[in-house]
A and B are shown apart, each in its own frame.
Chain A
Amino acid sequence: MSKRDTPDTDEGNVRKSKITRRSLLAGAAGAAGAAILKNSTATADEPPTPSPQQASPDPTKAYGRPATPVGARSTFERPERSVSNSPGGVSRTPLQDLNGMITPSDLHFERHHAGVPRIDPADYSLLIHGMVERPMKFSLDDLKRFPSRTQICFIECAGNGGAAYTTTPNPQRSPQQVDGLVSTSEWTGVPLATLFREVGLSDDASWFLAEGMDASVMTRSIPTDKAWDDALIAYGQNGEAIRPEQGYPARLLLPGWEGNANVKWIRRIDVSDRPFMTRWETSKYSDPLADGTARIFSFTMDAKSLITSPCYPSVLRAPGWWQISGVAWSGRGKIDRVDVSTDGGQRWEPAELEDPVLPKCQTRFRYLWNWSGDEAVLMSRAVDETGYVQPTVEQVQQARGVFSRYHYNSIRAWTVKPDGAVLFGAGA
């Protein structure tokens, strides 16, 4: 199967005529159908269960509903985060339901360790102290008065994709289930460098502790170099205030670095000349290696990509033209290229990258594929601007050990069965 810009064979044209938007969406509709069934016991404060009967038979013949102060999704669309049962601090983004690169704010993944705190912005302040000339407190209004900066970037949990860190993954896994702990937003805030200039960092300062004000009072040590580079104290997400699950009213944003270090609900920064060795950076979020050591402060998320369509649990209804689409990102800069293979990694061809391609941000790629109907194994492989090539799981396991933890960025595969079923993994 070679990549083609247009379906230019007779066979392709015939088949193309059968591939309607409806059939392309068949997989998504299946998921939506399940959501509708689940919703059939909706209570009074939930939106009404959508059904074809509720749609106007001809919307051009009836005045629609009036304008509203706050919009809502079409009741025919029910994308949802999947919430883990225990202990309630995890929900995953439905990657397979999304287009483009921005994650809707209400679908941004969650990871928290003591629930989502309710913080009155009037009571909020950020304290910066330690190795500074002037320890200072900044109210939310103070933070917003400083010159702001806006950046679109991904946040990915360091543990995202653990289910793929094996040569024999469970085939019945969706992108959401495997890699749903990554999301992309447009973040607005004050550069931490601006605040550091305001308090006057000591020449010897090299690390700072970032501390949250949820009940886990979570802390991470961060090198001050990241503040001088691109760290933000962010208060805006996708044009509005940050969502409570994402750190309202303000969080640390470290573009390209593992999610846990992007401390939410940030209340305090303690500047030092050494790291603090908190539980979160020692007992957790360190990466055991095969040589009997553990990598500590492994902040950067290396390049990664995954195909989000087609994917489990969707089914390709017929051979012919299908768009392979997915997202790629790197914590080290821009995505330079994404290669796609439809034969299990024997042959690779470059996919199209959707503009804009931004540093430390998800980039959408697409690749036109004419499926013969035979079993096929679809893979994507990201290359970033440093020349890093997304590795195979065998390469990562060789470098770090079979049971290393965190930073699971190996190549993902989907097996398309002759009956159109799509399963996770190359050997599915």
Chain B
Amino acid sequence: MVRLRRTFSKYALPAAAVVMLGCASGQGESPRHDAPDSFGFGQLATDDDIRALDIDIMPDGTGLPPGSGSVEHGQRIYAAKCASCHGPTGVEGPYDVLVGRIPNDEFPFANDRSFRSTIGNYWPYATTLYDYIYRTMPFEAPGSLATDEIYSLVAALLFMNDLVPADAVMDAETLPQVVMPSRDRFVADNRRGGPEIR
């Protein structure tokens, strides 16, 4: 705090003001100033400013837009825009494997390298699919998919992972209700420094 004040006062105050304040205080030390509650730099953001960028989706569905999508529509989009990177059925790659469940929904990743982590066996929240696809997929044309296309793709990926039926429709109501098998697998970091290895 002291360092911050000193640095700021050096540049913020004209020399004359420094001298005057120094005299007025009646103390021989160089004047320093508390950082104000607000410097007043920057601009208030408008609702439009926020709407233009606020695209994040939370696990409870906050942020999901109006619209909906079907498994069947999503499978067509998947074949056209996703299969080249993730494989025709989501397991072939060459990039991230998207589809796969493990018997009894076990979570053996730290002990057994033969299981690849997928949406179906690792992702804790279905809403993350919408968030991620919207912000950066497909790889060659990020941000190019329309709302209903994304809902459809999400429906298809959940169906391919045996998480929703073939006639499922995904929208702002239904998507947050999909419970992912690994939702409760995630635990807080318990490393704290000190001698214990965790």
A312 at the interface (CB under 8 A from B): no
For A286, the chain B residues whose CB sits under 8 A away are 186
- Of the listed stretches A16-24, A67-75, A213-221, chain B binds A213-221
- Is there contact, CB below 8 Å, between A198 and B197? no
Flag if A139 contacts B193 (CB, 8 Å).
no
Contacts of B190 in A (CB 8 A): 295
Contact of B189 with A by CB under 8 A:
yes
State whether the Cβ of B148 lies closer than 8 Å to any Cβ in chain A: no
Question: Hey, which chain B residues are within 8 Å of A297, CB to CB?
Answer: 188-189
Using known A-B contacts A277-B125, A297-B189, determine if residue A135 contacts B44 with beta carbons closer than 8 Å.
Answer: yes
Residues of B in contact, count (CB < 8 Å): 58
The interface stretch among B130-138, B149-157, B158-166 is B130-138
The 0/1 profile, CB within 8 Å of B marked 1, for residues 384-428 of chain A is 101111010001101111111100000000000000000000000
Establish whether residues B189 and A278, one from each chain, have CB atoms under 8 Å apart when the complex forms: no
Pairwise interchain contact B197-A396, C-beta atoms closer than 8 A: yes
- Say whether B77 faces chain A, with CB atoms less than 8 Å apart: no
In the bound complex, residues from chain B placing their C-beta under 8 Å from that of A279 are 123, 128, 131-132
- In the complex, which of the residues B109, B127, B136, B192 contacts A216, with contact meaning CB atoms closer than 8 Å? B136
Asked if B58 is an interface residue, CB under 8 A from chain A, the answer is yes
Known: A282-B123, A282-B128, A286-B186. A293 touches B41 (CB 8 A): no
Q: B25-46, CB under 8 A of A: which get 1 and which 0? A: 0000000000101110111110
* Contact status B41-A387, CB under 8 Å: no
Instruction: Decide: A401 and B124 in contact? CB cutoff 8 A.
Output: no
Inter-chain CA distance A288–B113, complex, in Å, is 11
How many residues of A are in contact with the other chain, CB < 8 A?
72
Task: Tell me how far the C-beta of A392 lies from the nearest C-beta in chain B, rounded to whole angstroms.
Answer: 9
Query: Is A205 among interface residues, defined by CB-CB distance under 8 A?
Result: no
- The reply to whether B50 and A129 contact each other, CB–CB distance below 8 Å, is yes
Please measure, in the bound complex, the distance between the C-alpha atom of A202 and the C-alpha atom of B42, giving whole angstroms.
Answer: 19
A147 beta carbon closer than 8 Å to chain B: yes
Residues of B within 8 A of A389 (CB): 195
Residues of B within 8 A of A148 (CB): 7
Confirm or deny: A54 has a beta carbon within 8 angstroms of a beta carbon on chain B.
Answer: no
A138 touches B (CB below 8 Å) = yes
B122 touches A (CB below 8 Å): yes
Q: Once the chains bind, are B198 and A399 in contact (CB under 8 Å)?
A: yes
Chain B nearest CB from A411 CB (Å) reads: 12
B129 to chain A: closest residue by CB: A279
Using known A-B contacts A147-B7, A277-B125, A279-B131, determine if residue A293 contacts B107 with beta carbons closer than 8 Å: yes
Contact partners of B39 in chain A: CB under 8 A: 145-146, 194, 198
Question: Complex Cα distance A422/B127, Å?
Answer: 50
Option from B43, B108, B109, B185 in Cβ contact (under 8 Å) with A137: B43
Contact flag A295-B142 (CB < 8 Å), given A137-B45, A276-B58, A396-B197: no
- Which residue of chain A lies nearest to B123 when distances are taken between CB atoms in the complex? A283
Q: A270 within 8 Å of B by Cβ?
A: yes
Q: Of the candidates A268, A277, A278, which one forms a contact with B53 in the assembled complex, judged by CB atoms under 8 Å apart?
A: A268
Q: How far does the alpha carbon of A254 sit from the alpha carbon of B171 in the complex, in Å?
A: 36
Other contacts beyond A146-B39, A211-B53: 4, CB < 8 A? A136-B43, A276-B131, A294-B182, A296-B188
The 4 lowest CB-CB distance pairs between A and B, nearest first, are A401-B110, A386-B193, A288-B109, A217-B135
